[in-house]
Amino acid sequence: MTCPSTRSEGAAQLLALGIIVVAVFGALGCGAKSDRPDGTPWDPYILAMDDALARDDFYAADLARRTAHLLALGSHRWDAMADVGDACVRFLDAPGAGPTVRAECRHMYRSALAGARQQASIDGVLRVSEASTALGDQDMAREGLALATAMVSSFGAPAQLVRLKALEARLSRGADRVDPSRAEISEPTAAAVTWQR
């Protein structure tokens, strides 16, 4: 049984978190327009993250990154998840980025790959597979390569075939190398998933 003081402390923490989120949305310009013609709402937060990283403001960068992730999740678009995955990879080099960040990046790319597959986007599958290779996740890159190969053979364009062959070559070159960061790539822990709800 939960005692009343514990419940009230939990409620106070939730209220404080809500106030912080509202304040951050306002401070970062929640209503800001994106440079893209389709008005992607996560773009301003990715730009805010990059700006905060340039100023060495880790906490502002992390908050902007997490906000972009929440907005991308709500969009149900593969390109949104790929964008925040790319931002997450840039965030990896920030002093203070913990070991779960790599797993978060992988999770974002996994969601982007699933979305691209569902939307039958060869470009999306190729983009995520290329990004996964750069992240050092050879398994996801190979999964994407197999999926893209099937899609290109069914309805692909010549330019996509060129990208497919380049990805295939990158993966075959990297097969002999062991990536030391590979051990860090795993599914996100419960703490990493907290912001994804």
pLDDT tens for each residue of 121-138: 988 999 999 899 888 898
The domains located in the chain, with CATH, are 41-190 (1.25.40.10)
| pLDDT at 101 exceeding the cut of 70 | yes
* Model pLDDT, residue 110: 95
| pLDDT at 174 exceeding the cut of 80 | no
Contacts of range 157-162, beta carbons closer than 8 Å, 24 or more positions apart = 157/122, 160/122, 160/123, 160/126
The predicted model gives 108-131 an average pLDDT of 93
Q: What is the pLDDT of residues 54-87, one digit of tens each?
A: 999 999 999 999 999 999 999 999 999 999 999 9
Both tokens assigned to 171: 């993966």
Q: How buried is 192 (Cβ within 10 angstroms: 0-12 exposed, 13-18 middle, 19+ buried)?
A: middle
| pLDDT at 175 exceeding the cut of 60 | no
d(CA 20, CA 14) in angstroms, rounded, equals: 10
Backbone angles phi, psi at 187, to 5 degrees: -65, 150
Strand (E) positions, the chain?
none
d(CA 131, CA 88) in angstroms, rounded, equals: 11
The SS3 call for residue 145 is helix
* Model pLDDT, residue 118: 93
pTM tops 0.75, yes or no? no
d(CA 16, CA 63) in angstroms, rounded, equals: 15
